[in-house]
């Protein structure tokens, strides 16, 4: 009996020393979800850009400029003398409104009130953040942002839904250079 018990213990010891094998995944992902998502986003961006281009083509009253970061704009009031634009850390005050591409007001200038914003150091949607850097004090600019430059997939959790391209009319009131705000 003692011999049988030793044999069982020896067998258990031998089996338990076997190296563990790696577990295989239950499903294999090929990355197709990411590829499909990229394709969907490219199609959505093309569709939105085509809608904006159609508005631009039909608007003969304004001269549109294409930004380096993927939005369009025109000046309602332009300062051709000053060369000062806001840079990283500068404080700006501005007023703006938000509309959809059918020119329906989403947020009025009165609702949004005057905004004080430190360039690139505070939250603001991408397109507006970049647009402000193009402006000079006293200028009024109308921007056309595809949804990826605005609130994108998530919207703003209030009035702006998923993937909504926007028009914003912005007046830059003041620029306070960062060097003058340091103590």
Separation between Cα atoms, residue 104 and residue 10, nearest integer Å: 82
pLDDT, one tens digit per residue, over 58-94 is: 999 999 999 999 999 999 999 989 999 999 999 999 9
CB of 172 within 8 A of CB of 135? yes
Q: Please tell me whether the overall predicted TM-score, pTM, comes out greater than 0.75 for this model.
A: yes
31 has pLDDT over 90: no
pLDDT, one tens digit per residue, over 136-180 is: 999 999 999 999 999 998 999 999 999 999 999 999 999 999 866
CATH number for the region 41-178 comes to: 3.10.50.40
Q: What are the boundaries of each domain within the chain?
A: 41-178
């Amino acid at each position: 009996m003692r011999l049988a018990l030793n044999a069982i213990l020896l067998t258990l010891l031998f089996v338990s020393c076997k190296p563990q094998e790696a577990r295989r995944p239950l499903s294999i992902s090929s990355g197709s979800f990411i590829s499909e998502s990229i394709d969907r986003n490219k199609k959505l961006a093309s569709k939105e850009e085509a809608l904006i281009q159609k508005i631009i083509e039909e608007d003969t009253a304004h001269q549109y400029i294409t930004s380096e970061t993927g939005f369009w704009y025109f000046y309602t009031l332009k300062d051709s003398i000053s060369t000062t634009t806001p840079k990283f850390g500068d404080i700006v005050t501005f007023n703006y409104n938000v509309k959809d591409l059918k020119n329906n007001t989403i947020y009025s200038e009165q609702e949004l009130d005057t905004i004080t914003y430190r360039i690139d150091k505070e939250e603001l949607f991408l397109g507006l953040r970049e647009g402000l850097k193009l402006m000079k004090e006293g200028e009024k600019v109308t921007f056309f942002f595809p949804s990826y430059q605005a609130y994108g997939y998530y919207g703003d959790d209030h009035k702006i839904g998923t993937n909504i391209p926007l028009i914003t009319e912005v007046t830059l009131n003041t620029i306070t250079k960062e060097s003058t705000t340091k103590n």
